[in-house]
């Protein structure tokens, strides 16, 4: 019998899936304009189509965030609480050891973590900040002639800067969250799959949180061998 | 092809706006035709700024003073056709292009209407055309100059304030004129010879650059310069991140934590490793 702990509810997973799809289209069509010379290679029709696709998925990206917040505001509120929660000794130690661990996971032992690892709290902070500014600047760019030229120019640079920052964060996020980094190889199933984490994985990655959950048993299920793990609601 | 330039001699301009009309006519640019489409601003300058259908207008600076009670400084508000054109470097679709004659054009067949050129221009020249959903500006009448004609604005100027020819000739003519008017207009300058790598509109400005609505030392806007720096920096940043993660990937491949199956014991409130315990038992 294996124990599983509920980690991501259905709304969070749906929002994440929507973001994945939106961001792929936004990044690709954004790169059409961001990378010098690429637009000329792709040609007028592709660029025009890219503009339309970019705006459609920008709407999906912003819209789904607003909708998921309205339907389940607790997710964003909890996320903010975790980001701004005070750091304990384990959080500080995690950040100190994280980069050596990234390049030599055999040698370094990571301290227990709460629901969100301290490194991810830093990443989430910048992710939310960038999402906010890339959305605002995108709306200003969309408004075009309705805004003063200086504001348009500022928004254009801000949008490019956010795109650069977002690209770096997303590459690291895919490497870790996508389980390409060996010690994280079972992570993708949490957000992309059914939302449950195996007891052993939970204890390895988020020791403090897992122990609290296992002690309370509130979000814990037990799955018999051969039985399928259900989808977390 | 030798580089060409337009010479605008503001000391000869009477602000008749013939050039403004000729530009509209030749390029078939519509104008508002009904009453009160323009709100009277109190100035003879009309319209007050260019737009997607107005690529040239005469600007007026009207101040009290001068021999007749009012001092006039007219300006030719249009593309300066920069040698180092910020619109060209900003354009993602390569619609903004240099021509062999030095003119800077926006190819309407290629423009995607992103307005990046509008934001980049230090003179605020390109304008978004709502009707065509692309950016437009003066193209130095390439259809005329390609056939050996002068641009429509130059051709129509009745006061002889506009001239067109090889750029060195226009610069030489500008300096000759400057020498002639310097005694009457001590603040007079030649504008466009060196600005932004050299403009392809050379101007004789009797009251100095600022009075005629031109920036004294035009520069590519800072945000545009930062943007030009950001793109290669972003490429380096992304490449460095990917390289670092590739190293991490290679170094972490041999690590396997699966043998250590972790469990939480609610009784002792401790985490136990099954594999580790089995090993202890074997010993």
pLDDT band at B283 (very low <50, low <70, confident <90, very high): very low
The rounded mean pLDDT for chain B is: 90
Give the distance from residue A113's alpha carbon to the nearest chain B alpha carbon, in angstroms.
14
With a cut of 50, say whether residue A224 has pLDDT above it.
yes
| Percent of chain B predicted with pLDDT > 70 | 94
- Give pLDDT tens digits for B152-201: 999 999 999 999 999 999 999 999 999 999 998 899 999 999 999 999 99
Query: Residue range A137-166: average pLDDT?
Result: 93
Average pLDDT over residues B243-249: 96
Locate A128 and state its tokens.
Answer: 């939310």
Q: Looking at chain B from residue 182 to 221, which residues have their Cβ under 8 Å from any Cβ of chain A?
A: 221
> In the predicted model, what is the mean pLDDT of residues A44-55?
94
pTM of the predicted protein model: 0.87
Higher pLDDT, A75 or A145: A75
Mean pLDDT confidence for B54-61:
95
Residues 144-173 of B with CB under 8 A from A: none
CB-based contact A181 B256, cutoff 8 Å: no
pLDDT band at residue B275 under the 50/70/90 scheme: low
The answer, yes or no, to whether residue B257 has pLDDT greater than 70, is: no
Q: Nearest by CB to A149, from B112, B113, B124: name it.
A: B124
Chain A CB contacts of B262 under 8 Å are 199-200, 203-204
pLDDT digits (tens, 9 = 90+) for A80-97: 999 999 999 999 999 999
Mean pLDDT, rounded, for B101-105: 96
Q: What is the pLDDT of residues A101-133, one digit of tens each?
A: 999 988 888 899 999 999 999 999 999 999 999
Cross-strand pairs, B136: B127
pLDDT of the residue at B1? 65
Nearest CA in chain A to B248: A103
For every residue of A83-144, DSSP letters joined together read HTSPP-HHHHHHHHHHHHHHH-TTT--PPP--SS-HHHHHHHHHHHHHHHHHHHHHHHHHHG
Contact between residue B88 and residue B104 where contact means Cβ atoms under 8 Å apart:
yes
What distance in Å separates the CA atoms of residue A68 and residue B194, rounded to the nearest whole number? 56
Q: Is B264 on the interface with A (CB under 8 A)?
A: yes
Contact criterion met (CB < 8 Å) for A182 and B245: no
Res B40 pLDDT > 90? no
Q: Are A209 and A219 in contact (CB under 8 A)?
A: no
pLDDT at residue A39 tops 80: yes
pLDDT at residue B66, as a whole number: 64
Q: Tell me the CB-side half-sphere exposure of residue A218, using CA atoms within 13 A.
A: 7
- Which has the minimum average pLDDT: A8-22, A196-210, B9-23, B262-276? B262-276
In this prediction, residue A160 has a pLDDT band, given cuts at 50, 70 and 90, of very high
Average pLDDT rounded to a whole number, residues B107-125: 94
Tell me which H or E stretch contains A187: none
Pair of tokens at residue B276 = 């580790």
Q: How far is B226 from chain A (nearest CA, A)?
A: 8
Distance CA A170, CA A7 (A): 21
What residue has token string 């959950």? Answer: A213
Residue A197 CB contacts under 8 Å (≥ 6 apart), including other chains: A4, A5, A7, A190, A205, A210
Res B238 pLDDT > 90: yes
pLDDT value of position B67: 65
Determine, for residues B256 and A182 on separate chains, whether the beta-carbon distance falls below 8 Å. Answer: yes
pLDDT at residue B282 greater than cutoff 50: no
Provide mean pLDDT across the span B250-263: 78
With CA atoms as reference, the chain B residue closest to A209 would be B264
So what's the pLDDT on residue B70? Answer: 79
pLDDT band, residue B280 (cuts 50/70/90): very low
- Which residue has better confidence, A67 or A225? A67
Q: Is B262 within 8 Å of A40 when comparing Cβ atoms?
A: no
Mean pLDDT of B221-245: 95
Cα nearest neighbour of A199 on chain B: B263
d(C-alpha A169, C-alpha A153), whole Å: 24
B124 at interface of A, judged by CB pairs closer than 8 A: yes
pLDDT average, residue stretch B257-273: 77
* Sheet with B189-191, side-by-side order of all strands: B162-166, B4-9, B201-205, B189-191
Burial of B124: CB neighbours in 10 Å, binned 0-12, 13-18, 19+: middle
Mean pLDDT of B7-28: 96
């Amino acid at each position: 019998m294996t124990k599983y702990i509920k980690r991501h509810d259905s709304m969070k997973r749906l929002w994440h899936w929507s973001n994945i799809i939106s961001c792929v289209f936004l990044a690709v069509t954004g790169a059409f304009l961001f990378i010098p010379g690429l637009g000329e290679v792709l040609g007028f029709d592709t660029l025009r189509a890219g503009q339309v696709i970019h705006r459609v998925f920008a709407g999906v990206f912003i819209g789904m965030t607003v909708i998921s917040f309205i339907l389940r505001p607790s997710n964003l509120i909890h996320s903010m609480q975790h980001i701004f929660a005070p750091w304990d000794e384990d959080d500080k130690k995690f950040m100190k050891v994280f980069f050596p661990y990234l390049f030599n996971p055999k040698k370094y032992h990571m301290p227990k973590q709460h629901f969100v690892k301290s490194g991810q709290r830093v990443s989430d902070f910048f992710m939310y900040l960038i999402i906010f500014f890339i959305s605002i600047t995108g709306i200003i760019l969309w408004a075009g002639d309705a805004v003063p030229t200086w504001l348009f120019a500022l928004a254009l640079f801000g949008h490019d800067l956010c795109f650069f920052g977002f690209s770096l964060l997303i590459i690291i996020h895919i490497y870790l969250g996508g389980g390409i980094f060996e010690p994280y190889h079972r992570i993708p199933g949490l957000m992309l799959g059914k939302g449950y984490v195996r007891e052993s994985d939970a204890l390895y990655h988020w020791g403090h949180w897992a122990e609290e959950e296992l002690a309370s048993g509130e979000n814990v299920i037990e799955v018999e061998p051969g039985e399928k793990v259900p989808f977390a609601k | 092809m030798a580089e060409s330039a337009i010479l605008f001699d503001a000391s000869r301009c009477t602000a008749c706006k013939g050039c403004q009309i000729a530009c509209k006519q030749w390029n078939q640019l519509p104008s508002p035709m009904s009453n009160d489409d323009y709100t009277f601003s109190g100035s003879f300058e009309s319209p007050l700024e260019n737009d997607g259908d107005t690529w040239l207008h005469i600007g007026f600076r009207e101040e009290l003073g001068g021999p007749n009670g009012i001092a006039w400084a007219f300006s030719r508000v249009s593309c300066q056709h920069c040698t180092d054109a910020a619109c060209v470097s900003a354009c993602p679709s390569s619609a903004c292009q240099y021509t062999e004659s030095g003119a800077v054009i926006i190819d309407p067949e290629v423009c995607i209407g992103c307005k990046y050129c509008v934001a980049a221009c230090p003179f605020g020249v390109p304008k978004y055309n709502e009707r065509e959903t692309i950016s437009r500006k003066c193209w130095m009448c390439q259809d005329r100059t390609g056939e050996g004609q002068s641009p429509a604005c130059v051709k129509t100027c009745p006061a002889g304030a506009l001239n067109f020819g090889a750029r060195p000739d226009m610069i030489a003519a500008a300096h000759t004129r400057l020498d002639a008017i310097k005694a009457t207009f001590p603040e007079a300058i030649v504008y466009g010879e060196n600005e932004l790598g050299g403009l392809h509109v050379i101007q004789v400005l009797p009251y100095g650059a600022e009075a005629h609505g031109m920036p004294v030392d035009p520069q590519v806007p800072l945000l545009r310069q930062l943007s030009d720096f950001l793109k290669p920096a972003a490429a380096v940043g992304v490449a460095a991140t990917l390289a670092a993660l590739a190293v991490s990937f290679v170094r972490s491949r041999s690590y396997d934590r699966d043998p250590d199956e972790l469990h939480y014991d609610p009784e002792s409130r401790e985490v136990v490793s099954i594999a580790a315990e089995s090993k202890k038992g074997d010993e």
